[in-house]
Structure 1
Amino acid sequence: MCDARSVESPAISPVFVGRADEFTALSAALARATATGEPQFVLVGGEAGVGKTRLLEEFAAHACDQGAHTAVGGCLELGADGLPFAPFATALRALHRAVGDELTEAVAGREAELARLLPDLGAAAPGAHDQDGRARLFELTARLLERLTRERTVVLVIEDLHWSDRSTRELLGYLVRSVQSARLVVLATYRSDDVHRRHPLRPFLAELDRLRTVRRLELERLTPQEVREQFAGIRGVADPDRATVADIYARSEGNPFFVEELTLSCDGACGLSESLRDLLMVRVEGLPDAAQRVVRIAARNARVEHGLLQTVAGLSEDELIEGLRGAVGGNVLVPLEEGGAWGGAAYRFRHALLREAVLDDLLPGERTRLSRRYAEALEAEPSLVRPEERAARLASYWYHARDAAKALPAVLDAIADTRERHAYAEQTELLERAMELWDEVPEELRRTLPPLGSLESYPPCGCRIGAELELHFLDLLAEASVASRLDGQRDRGLGFVKKGLKLIDRMPGGDAMRAAWFWMERSRLVTGLGRGDGWAELARAMELIEGEKPSPVHADVLSHVAAWHMLHTQSEDTVPLATRAVEMARQVGADEVELHAGITLATLRSRTGETDAWISEMYRLRELALRIGAPRTVLRVLINLPDALLKMGLAREAVDEGLAGIEELRARGLHDGAAFCAANVVEALIALGEFDRAQVLLDTWRPSAVGSGTQTSLALHAAELALLRGDLDAVPALIDAARTHLGRNDRLPQWAIPLAVVEMGYAAARARYADALAVLEGMLEQLPLPGQDAYVWMLLAHGAGLAAELRDPSGVEGLVARLEATAAGLAERPTAPLDLVLRAQVARARGAFDPVALEAAAEAFGRLGYPHAVARLALARADALLAGGGSRTEAGELLAGAWDAAGRMGAVPLREEIGRLAGRARIPVGADSASDAESEDPVEAFGLTARERDVLRLVSAGRTNRQIAEELFISPKTASVHVSNLMAKLGVSGRGEAAALAHRMRLFEAV
């Protein structure tokens, strides 16, 4: 029995999020105390709501599972005037309930003295309350804990040490110093934000910090990913809305209690609940009046500079310092030391929600007037804030002052600033704010605003006032659609595009160039959302530009159409189309469009075999894109470069360039693009056999993926990695996730074929060969795929490998012939030696052995640095040698090398196959391989009886139930029962799969 219930909090989140390091530290302390009898003392600090109690709850449950007794006592919020020793009394009472007579025996003869801590023992002994009596009480408590921990581990928890009385602190300090040998873990928690400079706990903590026997843990706030997990757990959803979670993280700043409160009140809009608001305002309302005034003025900012605060407050230096001292001492404001012309010091609220509560408490007129005072102060003295913050701060102040004529120009300045800093989310918010203000600003003022003019190929308005271009509302919509897309908010961007197209439709005479641009943008968004392939939208854009003179929009549409054809239905017209796009973009001076079309053209020309020239061209285009800095082209070239290098067999270079690309995209705020680039690097790492590195990269970037293609790529490679590592249970869900993200783009070869290959591999691993063949047949039906030879070669090589595994020459001849015929019709030869793999596997499928092709393929993959492919080919060569009576020595060398390589990679299924073949051949493959290779009968691994083994042998030979019954002298009904039982044990769904599994594993073949 243990008292874990006493530490339970009214936790809302059903999942325990984060705190892995802290939980590990506490578990290690428990293990040390149990194993060595050395007492452990741990202090756990953190702000209110950060999850101290939840951590202790989880740890207490773990301690109970380990057989420890857990007793908890909490300090009361009474301070020095409260009950002395209250937490120890509560904890000892809990121990008394848990161990009963054992504690009674342990205190025998000392009941009256220990009754001061545990009144349940009876009346306390009368006597002088002097230092000697207190010392004796402390010593008796220490000895009691030592006695109780002789046979078991005890976890003693003291909660809320910041409310502790002096006696409690002194007793705790005595136990830390005097208990030397006990299976005891003492945990004490405290709120770090309540321990102000003169708090009596501060010197006590400092004293304990000097003791080597005490460990101190400080709980940090949750990370964005952990907040996402907590939100998902509370709401019971697998894939929570990204924007909602981001909002909750920003407002809660990762405090778990605030995350819970906001999540529960997040119904349409995530507001502060009354209970949370009241809780937050208690601290503010307890401040002196001067401090409350400063806090209310500071609430207009997340961080406010000292000089700006003084200017707006209109206070003398002494008055301001007095108010700040009270606010800082009350843990409402936190001082920040900052250098610079803005005063060298600044202040922020201890928590964002505390500031939000103060703002909510202001009257509407107060907030408006306060915003105007800040705006006027900053306009009068711009140096009061950092230069990089000036535009955004001024825009915010004027906006909240509700002065549209002042706010709109300021917001436009801030938009330009955020765009330069790649802050696309903030840029989108500002653009929406500009659109909101648009109709509130007089037309004559709007006509003087300069154009934004930052979008690739977007046409200028054409409305002139003198020599100046007028800003058009459509420009705001166009900028907002691009900023939303770059931020990964494609649904939001699609909304802006739809509004733009509706406005153009209502314009007298329309605007063909702008409409074509918006349709092109719509194509990008629809594709990114997985709601179509984008062709209908591009076709509409092509109609609109037909007959128009050359322009950036015209060239951009041609470039996008060429890129679309390259991915979907490449034909002889694709290269001329891309060439025309490059030439037109150069003609009209559209540098970014020229680069975009140039990437497409270089990729198309690379397929003619001019590898070196193409690599040089891609690197040149990358440098130009980075120099221009246009997001779309930077995104595309940095993603395409590692992918292209991998397709040419340069996996190591692909990893290096891909990692550099990830950092570049991250720095530019293109997080979804960085995640897509990471998927390409993962693919290269898998080829290089670096499975652990690949997994880390997947885990790191999966939360940043929002685009359909990005999520598909990450899920696809996660499924491939799980299959190679033997985590078969995870594969189906990952395949389903990839297909779900892909949506209506599921026939795009760059995803459809690799997904089919993974599905085939999974089905074969489960011995579901009929399913694997069905997937292969389904993909073959979609051929030919012009311009997609690299992916088709991948499909053919894996299809031939599947046919070879079946070991059924007569049954797969038609399939094998079809694979050969398809390969013969491909114009492009593969960079990787897939043609050699195809040739060798076709031979194996026909029951033959092509040692030249197998060896040549292995050598080629070895030069590329692909260890998994090399090891699998070594297994195939050894299998063929042993089956054909070849050299056992050579087969042994191949198996030993493959065994070691598979172990280094963590390729569990491959190693198991190697072990099974080596076991049947009695070939040792490693010092740790005895258990894998020594099995005299591989059928035993499936738990088959001797009779079921006989039945499986006959099923593999193609016998019917009646024939099995006749041969084994049993009834047909009994034979049917045996067949059903063995199929269940093998995990197959039919006789064909059972026979295929037996053949694949060569269960009944001599080696």
Structure 2
Amino acid sequence: MLSAVEQMSVSPVFVGRGSELAALDSALRRVGNGQPQALLIGGDAGVGKTRLLEEFLCKADAEGTVAMLGHCLEVGAEGLPYAPLATALRRLHRARRSELACAADGLEGHLARVLPEFGETDQEPNDEYSRARLFENLARLFERLSADRPLVLAIEDLHWSDRSTRELLGYLISTLHRARVLIIATYRTDDLHRRHPLRPFLAELERQRTVHRLELDRFGRPEVAAQLAGILGTDTPDPQLVDRILRRSEGNPFFVEELAASCTDGCYAGLSDSLRDILLVRVEALPEETQRVVRIAAEGGSRVEHELLAAVLDDSEDELLDALRTAVGANVLQPDKDGEGYRFRHALAREAVSDDLLPGERTRINRRYAAALEADPTLVRGDERPARLANYWYHAHAPARALPTALDAARAARRRNAFAEQLSLLERAIELWDEVDAEVLATTLRPHDWAETYPPCCCDPGACDPACERLRLVDVLAEALVAARRSGDRERGLSLAKRALKLTDEAENPLRAAWFRMNRARMLGHLNRNGTTEELGHALRLVEGRPPSAVQADVFALAAGQAMLYTPTGDDLARAERAVAIARQVGATGVELHARMTLGSLYAEFGEPERGIAELRAAVEAARGMPVPDLLTRGLNNLASMLANEGRLAEAVTLAREGLAVAGDLGMLRNTGAILAGNLAESLLLLGRVEEAAEVLAGWESDLRTEAFDPFLNRLRGELALRRGDLAAARELLRVCQATTDRRDQPQHLIPTAKLAVDLAGRGGQPLLAREALFAVLDGEIGRRDFRLLPLLARGAAVEADSRGLPAADRERPAVLARIAERLAAQRPVAPLHEGWALLAEAELARAGARDTPAHWAAAVERLRSTGLPYPLVLALHGAGGAAAATGEREAAAELLREAAELAERLGDRWLRGELDRLLHRLGANRGAPEGARAEPSEPEGPAAFHLTPRETDVLRLLTEGRTNRQIAEELFISPKTASVHVSNILAKLEVSGRGEAAALAHRLRLFPPSAPARAAVVGA
């Protein structure tokens, strides 16, 4: 695609930049080997970024690489989204139409939002997830384009980029893990002031290992001499000329060319050292008529179409062509490679010409551009027209025209899912609002003409004020609020809602006020701030007792949905039912389906799981026919989660996989893919399909789309590490997980994280840490009846049972067991899995109090066996085997423990498998022996089984009593150093990592049984 490469340099010789070009070549080679790369090329204006990119793209194109080049436009920061992507794709469309069409097959409706040449846009709404779907489908397009050979996407002038372009670029860099794509972006370093939006963006990108940054330095004397030699056509330029130009240009290659051109024209003196004067010398040497054309072209934008320029100038065609030919011949203007217009040879030259305009002159020129474009909208491309017209009227200082065109441009930006640019344009409209006469507003702006996301009238049905037919500032604030929420700028959204509420009389417009309160609640929740409950409560009071409306149904549904995630009550269940009924009555289908999904989850919470599953299934089926993708993915995710919680894990796996496929097809992986992957991995882990679960988690290991669900995925990775016996890795993952979790988090995340902490502490011989994790939940605001507590209570009781005899843990144990028993008694399990967990918790409580019998464990085993799930059945079998051994039923114990060992193997739990092997060994039973077989112990039991010497046995006994090395030394009349050596030997022989774990193992295996008869110890998993 050589046509895509802009030939913008005067010098025929490419000077210097050898190391930078080598870096680009190296990056392209890595891309060819399947390692996507991104290079950020920075430097001062005129330092040679474009020339370097030009040389590289020419070389890459000659080698068969697909090259795409796009430019950011200065208008982009004010509402022209995705401009460089649109330019790059348009050029690719012209050069490789069939190849692009093949890659875009099935994605055309989404991609048309960036490039209209793809046809009609899809009919999906512009909702919170539409931008994510667009990004996902663009990433898929680049993956297809780079399937057979490397692809280079180059974007120039990133310092002018709009926010949507930056976010898309960041998304592509962070998610194209396997595509052979090289992304290159250039930007001016001297334009990056402290508050420039590109600065934090670059800093964030540099955190990724595939991103590299190149900074171009200015030329030294050898490079300037070589550049001048090429420009002047001589082997040895005059040394004095080299020195003079080096001094004045300060090594900037563009200034070198400008100064060389001046010298060639005989202008050796009189040049000012100021940048603007250097840049204007070439323009001021042009004929007056050509200068006029150049000045008007400068206000047209980074690129100006020939037909538009002709309409603005209103000159004869011959006169215009003569002036343009002169400007092009002087290398001030250059024909745009798209063949439609002109651009300045360098952006610095355009800026200098524009800055040299008089204030009134600039206003007049912009007014002429706006008038010409309004008279003939075909003068520019349709996708650019709204933003450019709004920009011209704004700089023409014509508020009455700038305001409606800003609203039109905002609507166009919304259609392209460019919500940040939509917000910017709406804020411009808000800024202009007071400058426009009220009569003009009343006659030219109507809410139904442009507002799609916010109901223009929130009055009670049947009581609409005629004033609602006139667009008001509060309507624009509402649309801006939605744009802020969708663009992720929730702080701005909160301030917009606050301003709108000041303009809204709650007594006259309660539904409008409720709508703003509801949106404030949503944004506060996303920001994890206090105030969500208060805002929702206020909204509920405003809609209560009013006639049915979509706003009322939405408020009820949101309130019920928020409660569902924490501690729902019967009132919340009733509220969800009302939301469904009202939404159905007023025809708000999307609100109805969201409310039905919430209602299904609440039915399960309140003891009717089958009814809840049926409700959710029906809502999912209805969502399949709706053009609202987040409805279907939410339904599939919630249904998979509910089935997993009920123990129907095979069904949950199928639904989670379907959800991931749907999310991928709809471009929703950025939003819901991570939580669907987490639910899938969790179900696979519980089923014992460990390698599949590990593969799912590994697929999201380096993905940056998962920020909101990092604690969830890290907790699952911690459980996987725990299974594999890597306690250090599990502790680190738990630490990272807990760093982003607090006591206000949702129970569905908080409780499993606490269970992982309890399991880790128990296996590490740290019962006090296990208690701390348990109490952090029990002391919180978790509902007294929450089936998710059952596994946590069971594991907390197991750690208490395992640590019996440890002095530090024994003191508070009665109170701890009472807390667990009291919380367990409050549960009302209805599903077989929940009943099994409750019976297991009761058995562990009995063991912790030294009063368990085989009957306790048999009840748990029977109930859990009916679920067909290896976990927690393995825990019940483990306990049952220990109980049978304690009563002397060695053969029954061996059979139970062998079954448990097989399940532990299936679950991939190496630590538990080792514990079971030790118990089998103490029974004298080979884990692989036939059923009923028995073997006599071949080695001694107790401490001798671990080959501990008598002295090490004495040390271990004192260690289990919590003694320090100094106390052990005093007791045994040895030195503390000798005691330390014995402790180290003991840890090695027991194959444990610390004193606490050694003590816990000794207690679990009853290596030092008390003098009174007691049952054999049972290890907890």
Question: Is the TM-score greater than 0.5?
Answer: yes
CA distance in 2 between partners of 1:939 and 1:297 (Å): 92
Aligned residue for 1:430, secondary structure, equals helix
Decide whether the 8 Å contact of 1:418 with 1:427 is kept in 2.
yes
CA deviation after TM superposition for structure 1 residue 772, in Å: 0.5
Tell me whether 1:996 sits opposite 2:996 in the alignment: no
Residue 919 of structure 1 and its aligned partner are, at CA, apart by 7.9
* Aligned-partner Cα distance in 2 for 1:728–1:914: 18
Equivalent in 690, 693, 697 of residue 691 of structure 1: 693
Structure 2 CA distance, aligned partners of 1:935 and 1:331? 94
Q: Any unmatched runs of 5+ in structure 1?
A: 1-6, 11-15, 29-43, 52-76, 78-159, 163-189, 207-215, 228-241, 337-342, 927-933
Contact 1:800 1:838 in 2 (8 A): yes
> Which of 951, 955, 960 pairs up with 1:956?
960
Counterpart of 1:513 in structure 2 is 511
Residue 433, structure 1, aligned to residue 428, structure 2: yes
Within 5 Å, which residues of 2 pair with 1:875-890? 885-886=890-891, 890=895
Quote the residue 1:405 is aligned against: 400
Say if 2:332 and 2:344, in contact at 8 Å, map to a contact too.
Answer: no
In the other structure, the counterpart of 2:528 is 530
Aligned 8 A contact 1:728 1:762 in 2: yes
What's the CA shift for 1:411? 3.2
- 2:837 counterpart (817, 834, 857): 834
CA distance in 1, matches of 2:333, 2:985: 70
CA shift for structure 1 position 636: 5.3
Question: How do 1:875-914 residues align onto structure 2 when only pairs under 5 Å count?
Answer: 885-886=890-891, 890=895, 894=899, 897-898=902-903, 900-903=905-908, 909=911
For 1:515-914, what aligned pairs fall within 5 Å after superposition? Answer: 515-532=513-530, 534-545=532-543, 548-607=546-605, 610-624=608-622, 629=627, 637=635, 640-658=638-656, 661=659, 667=666, 671-672=670-671, 675-688=674-687, 689=690, 690-699=692-701, 702-703=704-705, 705=707, 710=709, 712-724=711-723, 728-729=727-728, 735=734, 738=737, 741-742=740-741, 745-746=744-745, 748-782=746-780, 785-786=783-784, 789-806=786-803, 811=810, 815-816=816-817, 818-830=819-831, 832=833, 833-839=836-842, 841-842=844-845, 845=848, 846=850, 848-849=853-854, 852-853=858-859, 855-856=861-862, 859-860=865-866, 863=868, 869=872, 885-886=890-891, 890=895, 894=899, 897-898=902-903, 900-903=905-908, 909=911
Unaligned runs of 5+ in 2: 1-16, 66-147, 175-181, 203-214, 219-248, 262-281, 930-937, 1010-1015
CA contact 1:760–1:773 (8 Å) conserved in 2:
yes
CA 1:804/1:398 → structure 2, altered by over 3 Å: closer, same or farther?
farther
CA contact (8 A) 2:805 2:961 kept: no
CA contact (8 A) 2:458 2:511 kept: no
Helix, strand or coil at the partner of 1:785: coil
Give RMSD over aligned pairs.
6.3
Alpha-carbon distance change, 612 to 535 in structure 1, aligned in 2, over 3 angstroms: same
Contact 1:46 1:218 in 2 (8 A): no
CA contact (8 A) 1:415 1:430 kept: yes
**Cα deviation code 1:932-986 (max 9, x no counterpart):** xx99999999999985554123433678989966984547x67876798789999
The equivalent residue for 1:88 is none
Aligned to 2:477: 477
The match for 2:446 is 450
Q: Find the residue that maps to 2:570 and give its secondary structure.
A: coil
- Determine if contact 1:558/1:578 at 8 Å carries over to the other structure: yes
**TM-score, scaled relative to structure 2:** 0.60
SS in 1 for 2:619: helix
CA deviation digits over 1:392-443, x for unaligned, max 9?
5554554455543333333333434444554433433333233233233332
CA contact (8 A) 1:797 1:837 kept: yes
Deviation, structure 1 residue 831: 5.8
Contact (CA 8 Å) 2:481, 2:493: kept in 1 or not?
A: yes
Match of 2:246 in 1: none
Q: Check the 8 A contact 1:725/1:908 in 2, yes or no.
A: yes
The answer to whether the 8 Å contact 1:50/1:255 transfers is: no
Number of the residue aligned with 1:194: 55
Residue identity matched to 1:621: A
Equivalent positions of 1:304-383 (< 5 A) are 362-363=354-355, 379-380=374-375, 382=377
Give the Cα–Cα distance (whole angstroms) in 2 for the partners of residues 222 and 982 of structure 1.
62
**What secondary structure does 2:435 align onto?**
coil
Cα deviation digits, residues 543-572 of structure 1 (max 9, x gap): 444565544434433333333443444333
Q: Please give the residue correspondences for 1:913-928 in structure 2 after superposition, counting only pairs within 5 Å.
A: none
What letter corresponds to residue 420 of structure 2 in structure 1?
A: A
SS at match of 2:788: helix
* CA deviation vs aligned residue, 1:289-324 (integer Å, no higher than 9, x gap): 999999996996789889878988998999999999
Q: Which amino acid is 1:431 matched to?
A: L
CA distance in 2, matches of 1:487, 1:464: 31
Question: How has the CA–CA distance of structure 1 residues 552 and 685 changed in structure 2, closer, same or farther, with 3 Å as cutoff?
Answer: same
CA distance in 2 between counterparts of 1:357 and 1:195 reads 24
Correspondences of 1:224-239 after superposition (within 5 Å): none
- Evaluate the alpha carbon distance shift between residue 519 and residue 269 of structure 1 in structure 2; reply closer, same or farther with a 3 A threshold: same
Aligned 8 A contact 2:41 2:184 in 1: yes
Distance change in 2, residues 1:767/1:281 (3 Å): farther
Query: AA paired with 1:450?
Result: R
Distance (Å, rounded) in 2 between the aligned partners of 1:27 and 1:632: 32
What CA distance in whole angstroms lies between the structure 2 residues aligned with 1:45 and 1:791? 44
Please say if residues 625 and 633 of structure 1, whose CA atoms lie closer than 8 Å, have aligned partners that are also in contact: yes
Please list the CA deviations of residues 126-173 of structure 1 after superposition, one character each: whole Å capped at 9, or x if unmatched.
Answer: xxxxxxxxxxxxxxxxxxxxxxxxxxxxxxxxxx9x9xxxxxxxxxxx
* Cα distance in 1 for residues equivalent to 2:151 and 2:681: 33
Return the offset for 1:529: 1.2
Aligned residue type for 1:516: A
Task: Report SS of the residue matched to 1:886.
Answer: helix
Check conservation: 1:530, 1:745, Cα contact below 8 A: no
CA distance in 2, matches of 1:275, 1:876: 71
| Letter in structure 2 aligned against 1:475 | D
More displaced, 880-889 or 618-627?
880-889
The aligned counterpart of 2:503 is: 503
- How much does 1:770 deviate? 0.9
- Matched to 1:996, the amino acid is A
For 2:484, give the aligned amino acid. S
Q: Do the aligned residues in 2 keep the contact of 1:726 with 1:908 (CA within 8 Å)?
A: yes
Q: Which one has more relative contact order, counting CA pairs under 8 Å at least 6 apart?
A: 2
Q: Is the 8 A contact 1:558 1:577 kept in 2?
A: yes
Equivalent residue, structure 2, for 1:81: none
Contact 1:281 1:358 in 2 (8 A): no
Deviations 1:885-916 (A, max 9, x none): 3368746854663465355xxx6655665676
For 1:472, the aligned partner's letter is R
Q: Write out per-residue CA displacement over residues 622-664 of structure 1, whole angstroms, 9 at most, x where no aligned residue.
A: 4555656568867854653433333233445445544555676
C-alpha separation between the residues in 1 aligned to 2:943 and 2:374?
83
Distance 1:262 1:294, change over 3 A: same
Count residues in correspondence: 787
CA distance in structure 2 between the aligned counterparts of 1:925 and 1:347, rounded to whole angstroms? 82
Counterpart Cα distance in 2 of 1:524 and 1:620: 26
